[in-house]
């Protein structure tokens, strides 16, 4: 073994030396509001997303990594060069879901309390992105030269459709294999299919007199459980009786419902609990609360009454498509998951925005065909928005086994690999899977208020990712003499 290789530094020790710097960089990234906004020149997903992107690319340039941009739709940071052995991708995203309400600390504050950093993106996906970046940096600082190029690919609209990744793929070839720090540990070997679609019903003209529904709005994204919803109604006889009914209904149901007069209208509001659309049972859907109450009112439009009744009879709080015709499941991934993310109703039509996660052995058409007869009976149309096919790797897949060993060696945790309802960038390339960064004992606050991450986990995750990069891109391709193959990473 060469003298140089004998004294090569310990990259995990280097990570520990970088802890304060890593925390500061994450804090600055979290402070950038990167919810998708209005497109402008050079910022197709809004200026906030662009600011986060520029910050991350700046970190890459600071460390003398090569960076390349795909016209603001995404880009990459390279550690090492193309040596003919291929490349290892690390796919992250910097956009975040809307912040919602009710935070203990500011959603873009990066506030650190009792060893945890608060802020939208700390878990999904800025925290894991910083851990992965610092894993690259520590190896680089210690002098490791990967025989397989390591490319961190930065996505900018993962939460809203991933069109940016499609644009990126037109400009650059994707790596041969990849890690996606946007899921769960120990690792994710399967992701259910994901569909987004709208259920739309047109309304006829209202009758004269009676109670009129002006609008219903609620939710902020397909893939979030709606944490608030609001209806505006007009009633010729005043609102005292309806307001008492709201109060009694709230007391009986234990729902958070309130009402207030706004000009000539009555506003009825429901407050729920947000959660990721892949796990709607962790939240409480405000749209379903509000619609249940609206079902007690007779409106002056038959189609409006049918729309409200359809929702309550066939959707409501049911999370697996039980009453709408798509209660599907398989042995590998379990039951289909059905989430109402948003609602938008006016005098002319009602639209319900649905996010479905379907089993890995089935197809999207199984979902649509299952619902078609019932929807036809109620004159409800389907507007298809987006669909991602399932992803699945068997337990004996070599990549599964390698990553599982790395995780277990670092943690001692023997949890089995997962199949999840969530979707990640692992679908964007061959031989890729989500690898962290949420641990089995973490409280899942992705897409919820008070999203936060333990700073000790940011460090632990960086160490795991450094081991993964070492095992997959450095160790198999030693530089120098044959003796280098036996170098000890520690």
Report which DSSP code applies to 342.
E
Cross-strand partners of 91: 153
Helix (H), strand (E) at residue 29: helix 19-30
Answer yes or no: 158 catalytic: yes
Q: List strand residue ranges (DSSP E) for 298-446, in order.
A: 329-330, 334-335, 337-345, 349-358, 381-388, 391-392, 418-420, 432-434, 437-438
For 179-198, give the DSSP string.
EE-SEESS-EEEE-EEEEEE
Answer yes or no: 441 catalytic: no
| Set 25, 95, 428, 467: catalytic member | 95
Query: If DSSP states are collapsed to H, E and C, what string results for 41-87?
Result: CCECCCHHHHHHHHHHHHHHHHCCCEEEECCCCEEEEEECCCCCCCE
Q: List strand residue ranges (DSSP E) for 425-465, in order.
A: 432-434, 437-438, 452-454
- Is the dihedral angle over the CA atoms 461, 431, 444, 122 positive or is it negative? positive
HSE (side-chain half, CA atoms, 13 Å) at 455: 20
Q: List strand residue ranges (DSSP E) for 133-264, in order.
A: 149-155, 177-180, 183-184, 188-191, 193-202, 212-218, 228-234, 256-262
Residue 365: is it exposed, middle or buried by C-beta count within 10 angstroms (0-12/13-18/19+)? Answer: exposed
Distance CA 94, CA 100 (A): 18
3-class state of residue 405 by DSSP: helix
Torsion of CA 439, 430, 389, 469, to 10 degrees: 10
Which residues are CB-neighbours of 211 under 8 A, at least 6 positions away? 233, 234, 235, 242, 297, 298, 299, 300
How big is the chain by its Cα radius of gyration, in Å? 25
| Set 25, 78, 157, 158: catalytic member | 158
Peptide bond into 437 cis (omega under 30): yes
**Cα of 295 vs its chain's centroid, Å:** 32
Please identify every residue annotated as catalytic: 95, 158
């Amino acid at each position: 073994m060469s003298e140089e290789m004998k004294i090569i530094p310990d990259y995990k020790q280097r990570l520990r030396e970088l802890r304060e710097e890593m925390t500061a960089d994450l804090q600055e990234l979290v402070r950038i509001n990167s919810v998708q906004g209005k497109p402008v020149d050079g910022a197709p997903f809004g200026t906030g997303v662009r600011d986060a992107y520029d910050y991350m690319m700046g970190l890459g340039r600071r460390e003398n990594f090569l960076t390349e941009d795909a016209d603001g739709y995404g880009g990459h940071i390279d550690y090492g060069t193309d040596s003919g052995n291929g490349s290892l991708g690390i796919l992250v995203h910097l956009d975040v879901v809307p912040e919602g309400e009710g935070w203990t600390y500011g959603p873009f504050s990066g506030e650190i309390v009792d060893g945890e950093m608060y802020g939208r993106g700390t878990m999904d996906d800025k925290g894991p992105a910083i851990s992965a970046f610092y894993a690259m940096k520590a190896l680089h600082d210690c002098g490791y030269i990967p025989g397989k190029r390591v490319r961190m690919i930065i996505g900018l609209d993962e939460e809203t459709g991933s069109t940016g990744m499609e644009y990126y793929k037109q400009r650059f070839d994707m790596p041969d294999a990849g890690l996606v720090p946007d899921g769960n540990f120990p690792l994710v070997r399967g992701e259910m299919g994901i569909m987004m679609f709208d259920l739309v019903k047109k309304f006829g003209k209202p009758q004269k007199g009676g109670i009129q529904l002006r609008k219903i709005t609620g939710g902020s994204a397909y893939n979030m459980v709606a944490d608030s919803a609001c209806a505006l109604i007009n009633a010729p006889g005043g609102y005292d009786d309806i307001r008492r009914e709201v109060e009694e209904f709230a007391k009986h149901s234990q729902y958070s419902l309130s009402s207030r007069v706004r000009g000539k209208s009555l506003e009825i509001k429901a407050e729920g609990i947000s959660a990721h659309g892949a796990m709607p049972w962790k939240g409480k859907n405000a749209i379903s609360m509000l619609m249940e109450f609206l079902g007690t009112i007779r409106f002056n439009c038959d189609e409006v009454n049918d729309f409200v009744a359809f929702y309550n009879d066939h959707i409501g709080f049911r999370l697996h498509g039980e009453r709408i015709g798509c209660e599907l499941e398989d042995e590998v991934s379990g039951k289909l998951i059905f989430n109402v993310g948003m609602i938008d109703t006016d005098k002319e039509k009602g639209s319900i925005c649905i996010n479905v996660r379907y089993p890995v052995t089935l197809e999207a058409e199984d979902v649509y065909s299952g619902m078609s007869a019932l929807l036809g009976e109620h004159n409800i149309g389907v507007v298809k928005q987006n669909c991602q096919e399932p992803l699945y790797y068997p337990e004996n897949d070599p990549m599964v086994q390698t990553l599982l060993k790395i995780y277990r060696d670092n943690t001692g945790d023997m949890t089995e690999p997962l199949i999840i309802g969530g979707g990640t960038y692992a679908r964007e390339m061959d031989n890729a899977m989500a690898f962290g960064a949420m641990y089995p004992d973490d409280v899942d606050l992705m897409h919820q208020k008070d999203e936060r991450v333990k700073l000790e986990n940011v460090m632990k995750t960086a160490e795991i990712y450094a081991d993964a990069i070492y095992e997959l891109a450095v160790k198999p391709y030693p530089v120098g003499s044959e003796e280098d193959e036996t170098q000890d990473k520690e």
